[in-house]
Structure 1
Amino acid sequence: MFCVFFLPDYKSLFIHLFHVALTAVSISVLKIKTMLGLIVTSLVLVAVVILYNALKSMRKCDLLSLGSKIMHKTNTTRLITLFPKSTKCRGVKASNGHTLFVGNPMFVSTLEEVLKLKARDDDVFIATYPKAGTTWMQQLVWLICNDADIETSRKTSIPERSPFLEAVDAPPVLRGIQSVENWPINKQRIIKTHYPFDLLPEEVRTNRKGKIIYVARNPKDLCVSYYFFHKMGNKIFENPGTWSEFLSKFSSGNIEAGSWFDHNLKYWKEFQKDKERIYFVTYESLKKDLKSEVKAISKFLDKELTNQQVQDIIQECSFDTMSKNINPALAKVGRRLGMNFSQFKFMRKGQVGDWKNYFTLNQNIVFDHLYEEKMEGTGLDFLFELE
């Protein structure tokens, strides 16, 4: 009897032991999950810190470029948030003491990087005040330097072949300071810039590296073209207001790129001192006799072209051909920046004398007075219409 009474209940014991084991396992799993959670959280925090430090150490212009690449990869249709609408134009002083009159934040981000850019002996800088014929000259110079290679020029857009010095790289086609810095050493750089002479790279100004081609355009036609460009790009430029308001800003220099007079006259002055390295040409002389200018620019760049190559370049750089081939390519850049290509074209008319359709009699009298005052004694004058 006693032996039977003390026999253990194996079933109950088994169940008890199972519960104990299950509890232990549950506690272990919970601990493992907790540990894994802590590890993952720690790794995320470390990654965040590393990313933060990496971003913090990046140049502002590189951050803008990175943002544009991310937006391109994620198929964001516009870069408006990346290149915010310009604030009111203001003077931004560079480290060399000279001032850039600008409203668009992108051009502020590249200012110091441009000053310290390493220049190359074969660099060609195409410098202009905006809407003076920049794109036209980019195409001309690229074709001259590349033996009138029309086929290649039609396969790749101008921004891809001739980077914009003070812009940032923004896919799919805009090439800026990053592309200039990383341009293949065995390929010549043909660089576009709207910067005033005093804000060109230090090595270009003081070490006399590279060559500069400056295109100047009569201020009346340029002002009209610049007005419509602001209307087309009102998502990234300061609102131009009415024509009268814009003309007033332009006349005072209170506008993106600053004073037309200061910009042109400084390059004109430097041209007088260094004609071997600086070529100064007007938009009007290009329109009047493109063949002579193609030959003169070729000579300036030490390029020998055949008569056929000269003729091919003239044909390819006619306004009709440029407008047909260039406008669609540049629209890819513009649309991603929020520019309005539904109502306006990048290459609008290309005429000399179109200003007469916009200037009132009084506006013309006032501007002529300003022009005479600013240009007196400089030796520089412009054609305001062609015969």
Structure 2
Amino acid sequence: MFRLKLNHIILYKNLLTNMDLKELPSNVGDNKISEETSILISTLPSHTDFRANKLCNYQGSWYYYNTLQGVLNFQAGFKPQDTDIILASYPKSGTTWLKALTVALMERSKSPSFDHHPLLSDNPHGIVPFLEIDVYHESSSPNLAKFSSLPRLFSTHMPMHAMHENLKDSPCKIVYVCRNVKDTLISWWFFGSAIHKMEPNRSLLESTFKAFCNGTIYYGPIWEHVLSYWRRCLEDPKKVLFMRYEEMKEEPRGQIKRLAEFLGCPFTKEEEDNGLVDEILDFCSLRNLSGLEVNQTKKFNKVDRKNFFRKGEVGDWKNYLTPEMENRLDMIIQEKLQGSGLKF
């Protein structure tokens, strides 16, 4: 049984006695939701998004039902290794770029050449899978044989507190990348439109904006997500590296060197003198990755890989948000982050 709060277990017993199975929540996206999870969902706050998909709030975050199943599987079964590296982010905050950079940093010890690089044959999301969406999506005890080489690289969109019990005694490292909320919103709007094969129209933007503002967005509220990693970084900076997308764009050489240092694979003077830092940055650039055949012709989790690459610009939100929308979002974020020391 999943490690759930005692009051949930009590509710389970009552519900099993009094509830007809037809009253349990319907599954979203697949048929992998266990009866136990369906019962849990029926006890949680729920919300229907602007596409009529249902979300529920578990431990302060909003998940679609199938994602919640993966979160529960992870919490029940994941056992970290000391050398594990987990790349974390709120969706559409620079996840793909962070994965590519990390893979390139770790891969350089195996081969100095880019001719047969893993990123030429697979998307960054295929190389660094999501714990709750991929690895633990169907089971709390998946086959991890393919992760035999160390360090193991994983990723997640879960907030830090969702992983706390599993990771609290482990020295494994976590890298978190955050992005300006307004740019994250716009990227989310375009991505959502693309995967649902819809035009990124004004109505959908306003619905996405509303969900961001009231916190009922997938994996939201975004401020709680960012703060969970920010606070953990302040507590243990040797375990959690907090990176900003804007700083990565403004000073890429300094930030990739910072990332390499944190991961325990700093650049040597010889590597820097030979231009390897710039070579990795160029190889992992949006221009290069988006142009690779592997990212133009295949899918990842039923999503066209090309949809993971759009503009990657800082400040693109100015082209779409009204001054009223900008001010409202700024006021909400300022209020939610007040006293944390974190600013956007």
Taking structure 2 as the reference length, the TM-score comes to 0.74
Question: Structure 1, residues 36-82: CA drift from partner, whole Å, max 9, x if none?
Answer: xxxxxxxxxxxxxxxxxxxxxxxxx99859xxxxxxxxxxxxxxxxx
Contact 2:70 2:138 in 1 (8 A): no
Distance 1:101 1:143 in 2: 32
Secondary structure of 1:192's counterpart equals: strand
Say which of 283, 291, 299 aligns to 1:324.
Answer: 291
Is the contact between residue 165 and residue 176 of structure 1 (CA under 8 Å) also seen in structure 2? no
The Cα shift of 1:109 comes to: 2.1
Instruction: State the SS of the aligned residue for 1:242.
Output: helix
Q: CA RMSD in A?
A: 3.2
Deviation at 1:146, TM superposition (A): 1.6
The code of the aligned residue for 2:117 comes to: T
Task: Compute the displacement of 1:215 (Å).
Answer: 0.2
Alpha-carbon separation, structure 1, partners of 2:30 and 2:211: 32
Which among 369, 377, 381 is matched to residue 331 of structure 2?
369
* Structure 2 counterpart of 1:266: 228
Q: Deviations over 1:246-282 (max 9, x none)?
A: 1011111111111110000111000000001110000
Structure 2 counterpart of 1:121: 82
Aligned equivalent of 2:312: 350
Q: For the residues of structure 1 that align with 2:246 and 2:139, how far apart are their CA atoms?
A: 28
- Give the equivalent residue in structure 2 for 1:166: 132
Q: Match of 1:135, SS?
A: helix
Q: Which amino acid aligns with 1:200?
A: M
Quick check: 1:143–1:149 contact (8 Å CA) kept in 2?
no
Residue matched to 1:251 = 213
Indicate how the Cα distance of structure 1 residues 290 and 201 shifts in structure 2: closer, same or farther if over 3 A, else same: same
Question: Deviating runs (4+, > 4 A) in structure 1?
Answer: 61-65, 174-180
SS in 2 for 1:163: coil
Residues 149 and 375 (structure 1), Cα distance of their counterparts in 2 relative to 1, 3 Å cut? farther
Task: Indicate yes or no: 2:67 matched with 1:107.
Answer: yes
Any unmatched runs of 5+ in structure 1? 1-60, 66-84, 93-97, 383-387
SS in 2 for 1:212: strand
Confirm or deny: 8 A CA contact 1:167 1:177 kept in the other structure. Answer: no
Say if 1:349 and 1:327 are closer, same or farther in 2 by CA, change over 3 A. Answer: farther
Judge conservation of contact 2:122–2:294 (CA < 8 Å) in 1. no
Distance in 2 separating the partners of 1:268 and 1:191: 19
How far apart, CA to CA, are the structure 2 residues paired with 1:132 and 1:124? 18
CA distance in 1: counterparts of 2:124 and 2:157, whole angstroms = 16
Q: Give, in whole Å, the separation in 2 of the partners of 1:130 and 1:301.
A: 22
Q: Say which one has the larger Rg.
A: 1
**Larger mean Cα displacement after TM superposition, 296-305 or 262-271:** 296-305
TM-score in terms of structure 1 length: 0.67
Q: Is the 8 A contact 2:173 2:240 kept in 1?
A: yes
Do the aligned partners of 1:240 and 1:246 also contact (CA within 8 Å) in 2?
no
Unpaired runs of at least 5, structure 2? 1-28, 34-50
Using a 3 Å threshold, how does the CA distance of structure 1 residues 316 and 136 change in structure 2: closer, same or farther? Answer: same
Corresponding residue of 2:54: 88
In 1, Cα distance between the equivalents of 2:160 and 2:233?
11
Tell me how far 1:140 sits from its aligned partner. Answer: 0.5
The separation in 2 between residues aligned to 1:127 and 1:184, in whole angstroms, is 18
Q: Report deviation, 1:361.
A: 1.5
